[in-house]
Amino acid sequence: MTDTDQKTPATETNLALAAATHIGGRPANADAVCFVHNPLGSAAAVVDGIGSSPAVCQAARRAAEHATLVASHRGAQAGIMAAADTMPDYPGAPNAVAAVVSVEPGGRIEIAHVGDAAVWTWSRAAGLRRWTVDQTAGEHVAHMLRNPGLTTADKATLTRLGDVAEVLSDYVLNGLVYATVSTVSWTPLRGDDANVDLVLLTSDGVHKRLDHTRIAELIQDNAATPDGLADVLVAAAVAAPSDDPDEVADNATAAVIAFGERERLTR
């Protein structure tokens, strides 16, 4: 991918696939996005490299390509593990977070992710739903605060720690370098959960700048044009104001898988 606005539309029989990416305010675009479609299935991946070095950018692109190739015929979990296999663990090795989606003929959907890349589904009937939880220190603290078994003292201590949860949301606890079958998140969608109009994959440069309500509004207004939707989401994320005057816009990437009417009805 280049370091400028980009969209990559591709239409297959009952699927429309589109993506957009933007460098934001970073020195390089370490986000990568890839699609694969063949008679066995379709797949999409968004890989967000950690850092901006040439090695990280190259590793993200390589991981996205391997993820989609494998996921298109073996499912999202196998796809994300294939991406992990492209990132050996040695001191200073490139690392990345990733989201992978596979779609089988007939419409069955599988989701896999590691780190803080996200996957969403949207339908006119059910609206927007996020299927991934960020694997970050901040989300871990938030999860602990929801524990109903906390004592009063524990809750008070965690509440103080919770004040820095937003900062901790940038500290990823898992990436492709460390990913295993037991640490990646894997979700198969079946039945009504899979009966959706579109699937959306985003890097954190999108969903940390745009809240759930804003993303839902943009989808509602642009769902009919997947390539336009990807463009609008990325542009809105890069332009969104920040409460921190020192913060620069992150790389922002969105990938859309839109289902045709017949594809949705055959699930």
Could you read off the pLDDT of 244-258 as tens digits, one per residue? 777 888 999 999 999
**Is the CB of residue 105 less than 8 Å from the CB of residue 41?**
yes
Q: Which residues are bridge partners to 31 per DSSP?
A: 48
Tokens found for residue 259: 């289902």
What b/e string do you get for 234-243 counting C-beta neighbours within 10 Å, with b at 16 or more? bbbbbebeee
Average pLDDT score over the chain: 88
Q: Which CATH superfamily is domain 6-132+174-265 in?
A: PPM-type phosphatase domain (3.60.40.10)
Q: Taking the model in full, what pTM does it have?
A: 0.87
pLDDT of residue 184: 93
Model confidence over 6-41: pLDDT tens digits?
A: 544 443 457 899 999 999 999 999 999 999 999 999
Domain boundaries, the chain: 6-132+174-265, 136-171
Give the contacts of 254 (CB within 8 A, at least 6 positions apart). 19, 20, 21, 46, 200, 201, 202, 203, 206, 229, 230, 233, 234, 237
